[in-house]
Structure formats: structure tokens, C-alpha cells
Amino acid sequence: MSELFYQTAQELRAKIGSGEISSREAVMSCLERINAVEPKVQAFLTVTSQEALAQADAIDKRRANGEALPPLAGVPIALKDNMCTKGVRTTAGSRILDNFVPPYSATVVNRLEAAGAILIGKANLDEFAMGSSTENSGFFTSRNPWDTERVPGGSSGGSAAAVAAGEAPIALGSDTGGSIRQPAGLCGVVGLKPTYGRVSRYGLIAYASSLDQIGTFGRSVYDCALQLNAIAGYDPLDSTSANVGVPDYTHACGKDIQGLRIGIPKEFFEQGVSAEVAGAVRKAVSQLIKLGASIEMCSLPHTDYALAAYYIIAPAECSSNLARFDGVKYGHRTNELAGHIGLTEKTRDEGFGDEVKQRIMIGTYALSAGYYDAYYKRAQQVRTLILRDYQRAFEKFDVLATPVTPAPAFKVGEKADPMAMKLADVCTLPINMAGVPALSVPCGFVEGLPVGLQLIAKHFDEETLFRTASAYEQATDWHNQHPNL
């Protein structure tokens, strides 16, 4: 049996329920692990030890009183630090929110609390979720637990690293262009980006609102299903959340995939994907065939345009969303006496990092009179073409299978060129443009570093993702391997 800190949420919940361990013990095992490995991994911006222990004791008391416990009772969880937590500092990885303590919690935070989960800390990210490595964090760079000279991916790199390192069994992240699946792939854990609209974003600090979606990290497919059960569903506080029923996603785990039709979009192997990564994905696909699936090559012809269109739409929406950080209502305010307009200018100059500033400028330009039609409108038209590619593919297939990233984790500082960094998401961001759900599951190692298999399904069909990924997981041993820290 693995150490307590490497147990899954499913195992911890069962043991807490039966009284084999207390919730306090589960929380302590994570806090001790954080103490031991955090100097190397640097996954957390804030660790909420005291609050977590108090909540654990409350759960243990409820159990002692014979109360029926909710599905995540006593299970520790980490949250990407762009989700508002009442009374707990929330930075979005930006100096401009260095000391921001939200007066309310995000809907996902309230739902996790209702499910009995225990917040143990807020995980590092690229500033406002813009990036693929956590190197754009205004605070520090998190490290890949498999090789601490390398990045954990991003932007939800802190969440992925924490789960891979045993600092938390499960975590939430957000995914606008790959920010859950890419770090999950690079850290060797499972990551799910649900359908756009599946999970409420109320209280998620917005980056690009037509693409942002909250999702889950776990060391097993089942643990992602458990979390989605807790956070999915309609929320009147987010007008983009869909009023679509929420099944019990854990029921999709452990089913067979006999007769499942899998499409392999050829464009995804032409995006600078390394031969080793392509090889690992091909092996994974052979495994799926052995399990009873049928495979056919297919084409999503507009895939090539996704990156260019994404990098118009996302900065355009970011420039609008980040206008609220003006030094007046909350967050950092310059100390200089600079007059009314100067106050905003100086505050933003001091508070935002270079990548964020660059995107605000590009986005403002793309939305300005005279350029709007040439850039923003055309990018939206391309987006419709991409969506149609997926709709057509899902007339024929239940699932599409691709690599998650072109290569395994790169070294800290290696991708100084912003374009090279953006290419790290070339396999993930087309999916956000279409709004469909996708999941990354560990499918092997390249030179000792984990790589992932991406599975994509039609809108609101997360169940098929869980079913396929859990069948694959049960037939392989990748998820049982842990980094040597």
C-alpha cells in the first residue's frame, strides 16, 4: 500500500468513512508532505494549515456523532489561486492582487465545501492564467516533481505539481487553452477540462470568458469524476453555466469500451509533435483497440488555424476583463501621487507582468475601430469552422484521441521566445475553441518524463471520457508511478 499522502481521494474517503483514519490524519499527511517537498516543488502560494485542521476536526466530529458524510468528506484539496476563497488571499498569480482577500467564495468553492472537501492551499499559476509553465507567475516558478529543473506546465502548474508530488490528492484548475490538460500531461496526472458551461465560473477570476472553464486534477480518473460530481451543474450566478442534468460520473468509471469508435485526427500529429510522444500515443491507442475499441484516422481540417485565432480572441477578452484592475476598487494601488489617469496607469504598470501587458495591448488593438472586422470578427468566424470540424467528427466517432503536448516538460528558462511557449498548447487549445470536453491521462514516459494521451468527446459527454480513460488506466500502470523527490 502506498503512503497516506499518495492515496487517492476515493481511498481516503473510504477510510475516513469506515473510521480507519481520521480526516485530521489525512490533512496532516498532506501538510507534512508539503513541509517536506515544498522547498523543491514550490506549488503553493498560500497553505491554509490552521483552517484545514479546524475543518478536518469538524468532519471527524460529525462522523463521531453518527452523521452521514458527504462524498468528499474530510478529503484535502488544493485550488488554483484564481478561484475566490472568502477570507483567504487570492492572487491570480499577480502582484496586482498581492493582498486581495475576497469577501465571497466562488461557486465551486461553496460546492466543494458542501461535499465535505477541505481546502489545504492555493496553488501557483501563470499570472491571470496566461502561460504554459508558471514562469509568468508574479511570485515564483513551480517545479516539475519528476525533474525540478523543469517546468510543471501551466497555467495550472501549481495544482498539477501538488497532485503529482503527493501534496494534495486532488485539485481544481482552470483551462482556457490547455491549462489543465497540459500541466496534467507534463506532471503525469489526470486532468479534465469539462464542456464549456458544465461548471460555474462565478468567482473565477476571468481571463478569456468565452473559453475559460474550471476542471479537475487527480491521480486517478475516478478522482476526477468524484470532483466533477461535486462542482458540475447550473448556477444562476453564472449566465454561461448550462442547465443540463448532472449524472453520477463515477458510474462511468470501470465500464468496458467494447465497440467504442475512436477517431485519430491526423492534424494533431503534424504540429511539431516529437516522434517519441507520437509513439507513446500510438501505443496507448493500440491498448484501446485491445480493449475492444475500433480506430480510424480522421481529419479536423481547420486545426492549423486554431492557434492564430485563439491568440486574437483570448487577448481581446483579456484586455476587456483586466480593465477592472484600476487601483481604485481593490488590489494594488500605486503610492505615487499621479493624478486621476496617472493613478490607473501607474498602478497597472507596477502591478502587471510583461506577458499580461503584451496581451492587453494586442487585445485592445484587435478590438479597436478599423481592426475589429479584420482581426476579432475573422477569428470568431474561424472559430465556427473549428467547431463544425468537431461536430462533423462526432457524427462518426464517440471519442477522438491525440497527444496532449508536442513534447515532455521543458527546462525552466528554455522557452524565452513567447511564440515557442505558445506552441506548447497547440494540441489543447483547438478544443477550447470548440467548447467540447477533453481529458489528459498518463500514457507513458519519454526520457523519464511523463506524457499524456488526450481524449476528446462531444459537448456534455464527459461520461464517455471517464469511461474510456478509466478502462485505459485499469489496463496500464502509469498512474501508479510517482516521482522520486
- State the residues that interact with ligand GLN by CB under 6 A: 129-132, 155, 175-179, 207, 314, 425
DSSP character at residue 405: S
Torsions phi, psi of 434, nearest 5?
Answer: -85, -20
**Maximum separation of any 2 CA atoms in the chain, in Å:** 69
Interior/surface letters 24-54, b for 16+ CB within 10 angstroms, e for the rest: bbbbbbbbebbeebbeebbbbbbbbeebbbe
In angstroms, the CA 234 to CA 212 distance is 16
> 146, 483 in Cβ contact below 8 A?
yes
Using CA atoms of 174, 255, 8, 74 in order, give the dihedral in degrees to the nearest 10. Answer: 80
Least Å distance, CB 155 to ligand GLN, is: 4
> Which burial class, exposed, middle or buried, applies to 187 when counting CB atoms under 10 A from its CB (0-12, 13-18, 19+)?
buried
Interior/surface letters 66-79, b for 16+ CB within 10 angstroms, e for the rest: eeebbbbbbbbbbb
Closer by beta carbon to ligand GLN, 184 or else 285: 184
Least Å distance, CB 133 to ligand GLN, is: 9
In angstroms, the CA 215 to CA 213 distance is 7
In angstroms, the CA 97 to CA 54 distance is 27
Closer by beta carbon to ligand GLN, 126 or else 473: 126
Closer by beta carbon to ligand GLN, 8 or else 179: 179
In angstroms, the CA 411 to CA 135 distance is 11
DSSP character at residue 70: P
How do 399-403 and 261-265 pair as beta strands? parallel
Least Å distance, CB 425 to ligand GLN, is: 5
Rg of the chain, C-alpha, whole Å: 21
Closer by beta carbon to ligand GLN, 131 or else 327: 131
Q: The C-alpha cell of 268 is what?
A: 494533431
> 325, 331 in Cβ contact below 8 A?
yes
Closer by beta carbon to ligand GLN, 134 or else 347: 134
Least Å distance, CB 33 to ligand GLN, is: 27
Closer by beta carbon to ligand GLN, 121 or else 178: 178
Least Å distance, CB 71 to ligand GLN, is: 28
Least Å distance, CB 318 to ligand GLN, is: 8
> 104, 48 in Cβ contact below 8 A?
no
Closer by beta carbon to ligand GLN, 352 or else 397: 352
In angstroms, the CA 145 to CA 162 distance is 8
Least Å distance, CB 36 to ligand GLN, is: 29
> 48, 167 in Cβ contact below 8 A?
no
Give catalytic residue positions.
Answer: 80, 155, 179
Least Å distance, CB 66 to ligand GLN, is: 44
In angstroms, the CA 225 to CA 475 distance is 18
Residue length of the chain? 485
> 123, 56 in Cβ contact below 8 A?
no
In angstroms, the CA 338 to CA 475 distance is 63
Closer by beta carbon to ligand GLN, 393 or else 427: 427
Cis peptide, bond prior to residue 155, ω within 30 of zero: yes
How do 118-123 and 76-80 pair as beta strands? parallel
Closer by beta carbon to ligand GLN, 96 or else 253: 96
In angstroms, the CA 276 to CA 296 distance is 21
